[in-house]
Structure 1
Amino acid sequence: MSDQEKELGVLRQQIDSIDKQIHELLNQRASCAQQVAEVKLKYQGASDVVFYRPEREAQVLRRVMERNEGPLPDKDVARLFREVMSVCLALEKPMRVAFLGPAGTFTQQAALKHFGLSAESVPLNSVSDVFREVQSGNAHYGVVPIENSSEGIVNHTLDLFKRYDVTICGEVELPVHQHLLLKQDGDRKEVKRVVAHHQSLAQCRAWLDTHLPDAERVAVSSNGEAARMLVGSDGTIAAIAGDMAAELYELDIAERNIEDQPDNRTRFLIVGNQVVESSGVDKTSILVSSKNKPGALYQLLEPFYRNQISLTRVETRSMNSGCMFYIDFEGHSSDTDVEKVLNELAVVSEELKLLGSYPSAVL
């Protein structure tokens, strides 16, 4: 046996020993999770028990990153713990999470990033279907897109928050890399149509203008649907979608990262039916409406300035009698300063709807 083989043999024995300890600790953690479920059922009852606590998971992931000493990067370690928590939560109660389908969309990718691989992700035909399933209780949670760094707010999602009574329980930020997909052994020179969600077509406009200027651009319900359309097609169709769709439908990636902005990101919201307690680093989202009159927006925003609360998003939607504003800001509705602002807004606005307070995105 060579010296190298001897040294590697010692290290491999150490790895085997460490793996055994990790395995034992994982099972201990899983056993604790089962006991947590039993305690919750004992004191809350089967009908009222809440197994998933977004604020608790956010706190755990933040502590993981804070205490990490390497060599693994902070977020890589947090993602490992995310999957451990997902598996343990499934022992308590598997989560049914609705998203805009079909399979392979960026929304499904966001759902898996937030809930882990042990959650049951359920594809639906539209964002409104996601809201409806969550409000009815047929799905524990839903994942919906709210804004993109290059294309802005998703107005349809905003309108649905007005129509449905659901609560925002969390947020997910996802780097979005768009790829040009073809059938296996397809030829880009043969492409006559490019299909994708309208947001993706807009995000790749400059690349398409340069490389496929004569191809018709067709908007479909989702990038997953676009990828699915290539299966069984005649080879004259290309789709824009991500890695997950390419792998799922066994398509060739003809060109990677064709988005016009390399730092393109999409923010998704987690909707559910529970009030989330403070995690220590939170956001709050509201819908507030006002009549069209001079100084209306100032009257709504001035309390935030006076109470030193930072706004992270303000979006305006016109209505027949005035304007509706979607506002994201830092803090939790239980915070004293935030509570003051909400009370003031309830007085000066036509309508105020608290959409939810939730942990700021960790991963």
Structure 2
Amino acid sequence: MLTIATIGPQGSLAWKAAQKYADDAVLRTHSSSKKVISSFVNHDVDCAILPVYNTREGENKQYFRIFDHLKAGYWVDNVIVYSDLSLGMHQPDADLHSIHLLVGRREVLGQCAEFIDQHLPDVDQMVVSDVEQVMADISSGQRSGVGFIAPVEMLSEHGFHILEREVAPHNRTRFAVFAHDLPKPTGYDATTFVTVPLDDRVGLLVDILQEFSQRGINILDMRSENDIKTQKLQIYIEAEGHISTEMMSSALQHIENKVIQQPGAIQVLGSFPRIDMRTKHIKSFGFIGTGAMSKWFADRLESEGYKVFMSGRSTSLRPEEMIRYVDVVIICVPISVTTETIAKYGPMIAGNKALILLAGESEKTVNTALETTSETVEVMLVHNLWGPQAATMKDKNAVVVRTPRSGLYCSEFEAFMYKHGADIYHDSSTQHDLLMGVGQKLPTAISVALAMTLQENEITSEDIASHSTLTSLYPILAMARVHSQNPRTYAEIMSTSGAGNKIVIDFLKNLQTIMELADAASIGPLSELINKNAQHLSDSFLRARMEQAKAVDTVLGKMI
């Protein structure tokens, strides 16, 4: 039978956490965290359960000391326990003004500090380890004026009158479960580690965090403390992912060997199914469209603990069937069939669910979604400006078009992208189409036209390489990118309707005007045009872009 060591006495919050973890286990209580860990490390028990975090107080004040004593075993799971702490007295006719002594466990009084400071600031406090025993003594002695803060169930069991219910709102405690064997990955895991006291080095913490950031690993928790003996910095980090994955293990190995440069500096505490103290409203996503971009998003949503279903022309799960039992439907199909797909499946989405469009064209698709879905269906468009080759969303642009019906589910999806590092921008439908005409449609059309011009004039790739300046290489690079990837993607970009067409048409008109001035050798008017354009673009924009251009020039200069 499973044996668990935890902090007593029987009935304590830690005792309840152990019961919640395994209700048929044999529980052995101890008076301190140190004794619990000692019992576990000596293999007297199978597991140890200790509090590590409280939503009211933060981390356990003995956090680093706990891990210092943990010389064997792993942190393998967590238990979250809600505690309805209430204020009670033995006398049924008592009120707050009659209290002259407040009794409770040390951590309980700390969690209720806000209430005590507001309502009982001058009342003496008595910290005890066994509240129930003191309750029994008070009851038998008929002593008046003593108030207790304890779980409401405990107060009721001892016949105490409840003066105030839930004096520490949103009070949840996280308990760590320690066992002797590391659990296998679940796909939704976290890894924790702590460092030894570290030697001082400028930028050490930043460099450590950067190793996670550049790999797209999210930090769930981080704290630091100066070691009592040496006063050197110790760091605790909890990050998403299992220690057995190549990404996590290589990150920790690189941090220890290359960043800290101190062998044995990292103690991996364990890996466990990830817990989220925050509330998630979405349980499941369903994709219509099984292309590379759908799979890219699906993988990352699954890593966040969401259930994900894929449906499309080639799947046994049909979209009309999938729609019935998911919270959010995501349509991610080629641009040319997006509107048709929305019109077909939008009416099937039940009220109080959401439709998110992963699409590049906004006005027509959003209007179709609003027209074909129920008024209680949330609608939002997301245009991710990266492809499935991207390793992460970090520092990538994502354009979000919210509608009057974008609600809680849409905001949660937006928060998911923000968490993964995307730079989010908000547009209206018309504004988005216009700007994407500048950002995608026009550059694509220019690239295709440029390639056609080179072919018509029999200019080879070698000719381009030998006669290009660094500046003239920019459009050449864009042309190369368009012609080295899926041609249908770029054909569909150029074929989109909406305000983006105006950008291309206006460009052609302005190009004609410029060529007429150039043919006439009108240097003055051309110079005036350039100056006028520069004023519209603004000095700050030009300075920032020139800095980027210099950085690109540096790279290109090394390659040529």
TM range (shorter): 0.5 to 0.7
Judging changes above 3 Å, is the alpha-carbon distance between structure 1 residues 135 and 205 closer, same or farther for their aligned structure 2 residues?
A: same
Give the counterpart of 2:241 among 331, 337, 351: 331
Give the counterpart of 2:17 among 80, 93, 110: 110
Structure possessing the higher radius of gyration over alpha carbons? 2
Among all aligned residue pairs of Structure 1 and Structure 2, give the percentage whose two residues are the same amino acid. Answer: 23
User: Could you list the runs of 4 or more consecutive aligned residues of structure 1 that deviate by over 4 angstroms after TM superposition?
Assistant: 247-252
**Alpha-carbon distance in 2 for matches of 1:273, 1:239:** 38
- In structure 2, the residue matched to 1:18 is none
**Residue 249 (structure 1) shift:** 4.8
Give the counterpart of 2:70 among 164, 177, 201: 164
**Residue 218 (structure 1) shift:** 2.7
After TM superposition, the score normalised by the length of structure 1 is 0.67
Judging changes above 3 Å, is the alpha-carbon distance between structure 1 residues 253 and 288 closer, same or farther for their aligned structure 2 residues?
A: same
Give the counterpart of 1:294 among 181, 202, 206: 202
- In structure 1, the residue matched to 2:50 is 144
Q: How many residues are paired up? A: 264
SS of the equivalent of 2:53 reads strand
**Alpha-carbon distance in 1 for matches of 2:231, 2:156:** 48
Where structure 2 has 5 or more consecutive residues not aligned to the other structure, the ranges are 278-560
- In structure 2, the residue matched to 1:231 is 136
Structure 2 residue 193 is the aligned partner of structure 1 residue 279: no
Judging changes above 3 Å, is the alpha-carbon distance between structure 1 residues 167 and 180 closer, same or farther for their aligned structure 2 residues?
A: same
The AA in structure 2 aligned to 1:132 is S
**What does the per-residue CA deviation read over 1:152-187, in whole Å, with 9 as the maximum and x for residues that have no partner?**
111313212112223111011222321113337473
Structure 2 residue 214 is the aligned partner of structure 1 residue 309: no
**Residue 135 (structure 1) shift:** 0.9
Between the two structures, name the one with larger relative contact order (CA 8 Å, sep ≥ 6).
Answer: 1
Judging changes above 3 Å, is the alpha-carbon distance between structure 1 residues 136 and 249 closer, same or farther for their aligned structure 2 residues?
A: farther
Structure 2 residue 109 is the aligned partner of structure 1 residue 201: yes
Where structure 1 has 5 or more consecutive residues not aligned to the other structure, the ranges are 1-93
Judging changes above 3 Å, is the alpha-carbon distance between structure 1 residues 184 and 142 closer, same or farther for their aligned structure 2 residues?
A: farther
Structure 2 residue 126 is the aligned partner of structure 1 residue 215: no
The AA in structure 2 aligned to 1:171 is N
**Residue 252 (structure 1) shift:** 4.2
For the 8 Å contact 1:104–1:244, the answer to whether it is kept is no
Q: State the superposition RMSD in angstroms.
A: 2.3
Structure 2 residue 22 is the aligned partner of structure 1 residue 123: no
- In structure 2, the residue matched to 1:154 is 60
- In structure 2, the residue matched to 1:55 is none
**What does the per-residue CA deviation read over 1:1-49, in whole Å, with 9 as the maximum and x for residues that have no partner?**
xxxxxxxxxxxxxxxxxxxxxxxxxxxxxxxxxxxxxxxxxxxxxxxxx
Deviates further, 281-290 or 331-340? 281-290
After TM superposition, the score normalised by the length of structure 2 is 0.44
**Alpha-carbon distance in 1 for matches of 2:5, 2:144:** 32
**Residue 251 (structure 1) shift:** 4.2
**Alpha-carbon distance in 2 for matches of 1:198, 1:132:** 22
SS of the equivalent of 1:291 reads coil
SS of the equivalent of 2:108 reads helix
**Alpha-carbon distance in 1 for matches of 2:266, 2:122:** 48
**Residue 237 (structure 1) shift:** 2.7
For the 8 Å contact 1:292–1:321, the answer to whether it is kept is no
Structure 2 residue 265 is the aligned partner of structure 1 residue 356: no
- In structure 2, the residue matched to 1:241 is 150
**Alpha-carbon distance in 2 for matches of 1:123, 1:237:** 28
**What does the per-residue CA deviation read over 1:187-215, in whole Å, with 9 as the maximum and x for residues that have no partner?**
34543221223332232223223333332
**Alpha-carbon distance in 1 for matches of 2:93, 2:11:** 20
